[in-house]
Structure 1
Amino acid sequence: MSKTTVAAAVSLALGLTGVLLTACGSDGDSNGGAAGAPELAVDGAYLPRPPTPDMAAGYLSVRNSGSGGDKLTSVTTALSDDVTMHTTEGNAMRKVTEFEVPADGELDLARGGNHLMLAKLTRQPKVGETVTLTLHFATSQPIEVKVPVKPTSYRPED
């Protein structure tokens, strides 16, 4: 074998190794392959005083200023061990297992749309109190939110 043939074979082998490593490697991203990472913040949170003693609804916005999306996967609170996420379609609520938080976008949980339901309340929250909710995400760290209890008929300004 000549030196030129050996050099060409080594060059080809190294090139193929690089291609294989690139194809098999990870870009270090854990948010489903999207470029970048989510940067989440929560605002506008409120919980209307429940009209019944055992169930409440929660509303808030999750803003994502990052270049990667995320998903809200669950919510926990000392007020209830049964917090579920719902979407409203027509006049019917439907339970969902997650909500998308798009890159450079927001997730709005509002009356008449996506929202949280807290069932089997441990106590009846009163107007003026604060309830702590912990939001859990697919890739981001949990976010603890202090949520004010508002009058039952409260509607935030648009």
Structure 2
Amino acid sequence: MEHHSLSLLNDIALSIIFATFFSHIARITKQPLILGYVAGGLLLGPNLGLSLVINEESIELISEIGLILLLFIIGLEIDLKELARMGKSMFVLGIVQFVFCVLFGFFFFKWILANSTGRFDLLYFAIALAISSTMIVVKLLHDKFEVSTIAGRLTIGV
């Protein structure tokens, strides 16, 4: 048990180091920080990189921690009074954006997974794409300090 805990702490520490380093590289090259995070994860992980983190449980936990932190940042940026003031336009834009992303994702995955017999799996992937695309856009807006613009407020309200 103690060895697993040390291994997990080591994996988390490596993830933080790689994320910090590659986000710094992204900032220097004027790229979105999220590209730095993805590059760090690719190089750290077992599939394309150095295979420094290979334990599936560690990878799953680290990804959950990252998602929690991203959602926390989104929560910090939401101003409920502003959302209420924007009201109908925010609601309509949110519905349109979600439906568009689900439809786009469904047909995209249908094209990619042409041999798939089920439709539920395609819908699942499409909904995941729609939800995650909003989170990525919010992170990009946050990195570019555009959260307080009208477009930024509408996006965060979505």
TM class, shorter-length: under 0.3
Give the strand-richer structure, 1 or 2: 1
**Rg larger in structure:** 1
Q: Which protein has greater RCO, CA pairs closer than 8 Å, 6+ apart?
A: 1
Give the helix-richer structure, 1 or 2: 2
Q: What TM-score comes out, normalization by structure 2 length?
A: 0.26
Q: What TM-score comes out, normalization by structure 1 length?
A: 0.26
